[in-house]
Amino acid sequence: MSNTPIILASSSPFRRELLTKLQIQHQCISPDIDETPKADESPKEISLRLSIEKAKEVAKSINTGLIIASDQVAEVDGIALGKPKTRENAIKQLMSMSGKTATFHTGLCLYNAETQKYQSCIEPFQVVFRTLNEQQVSNYVDKEDVLNCAGSFKSEALGIALFEKLVGEDPNSLIGLPLIKLTKMLEQEGVNIL
């Protein structure tokens, strides 16, 4: 494996844990960017733009290394859903997805700080929700800390009970970091995981 420094542009414990699966040494630097959507920007466009902006922001503080950045935006009925931040918003989000299919758009960017070139993509993942009542949703929100999770759930934990099925190429993308695509991007930069 290459000696190139690997930096995760994130303060997310979920992304940090996912990157640990690849068994590569890395450090975390939290980017400070404005995540406000632009006018007429789709959820897919938001997630891709923010992942690139996060990587570029971290690149300002280093001059060598590969920066991994990701951003996720959930979409139901064409409406973007971010992190709920409050219990009331979490319940509202989950109720809006009851009996529906939500698409989670996870933007991924691998940025080479030395060459200032990057690879990027959007990894979609669909979640088909069970028909839920407000009591079930309230019980779930009270049992699991989801206020900083796009879509108000953790699929890797109790949130799995909210779903009929999951549809996508990489279950890690639903948690916040598409590892299959990331592995391929790293190989393009000379970092072979295996």
Residue 160 belongs to a domain with what CATH number?
3.90.950.10
Q: Count up the domains in the chain and report the number.
A: 1
Within 10 Å of residue 30's Cβ, how many Cβ atoms?
12
Distance CA(47)–CA(18), nearest Å, equals 18
Is pLDDT at 11 greater than 70 in this prediction? Answer: yes
Chain segment 54-90, per-residue pLDDT in tens: 999 999 999 899 999 999 999 999 888 888 999 999 9
- Least confident among 19-28, 131-140, 148-157, 177-186: 148-157
In a domain, 1, yes or no: no
Chain segment 101-138, per-residue pLDDT in tens: 999 999 999 999 999 999 999 999 999 999 999 999 99
In a domain, 193, yes or no: no
In a domain, 60, yes or no: yes
Confidence band of 99 (pLDDT split at 50, 70, 90): very high
In a domain, 39, yes or no: yes
Confidence band of 2 (pLDDT split at 50, 70, 90): low
HSE at residue 81, side-chain half, CA atoms within 13 A, is: 26
Show the domain range for 122.
6-188
Q: Any idea which residues carry the catalytic annotation? A: 71
Is pLDDT at 6 greater than 70 in this prediction? Answer: yes
Are the CB atoms for 66 and 193 separated by under 8 Å?
A: no
Average of per-residue pLDDT across 154-183: 94
Average of per-residue pLDDT across 146-154: 89
Closest CA to 100 of 157, 154, 158, 164: 164
Q: What percent of the chain has pLDDT over 70?
A: 99
Average pLDDT, the chain: 94
For the full predicted model, state whether its pTM sits above 0.85.
yes
Closest CA to 38 of 52, 27, 28, 50: 50
In a domain, 27, yes or no: yes
In a domain, 38, yes or no: yes
Confidence band of 158 (pLDDT split at 50, 70, 90): very high
Using DSSP, state whether 18 is helix, strand or coil: helix
Is pLDDT at 1 greater than 60 in this prediction? Answer: no
In a domain, 30, yes or no: yes
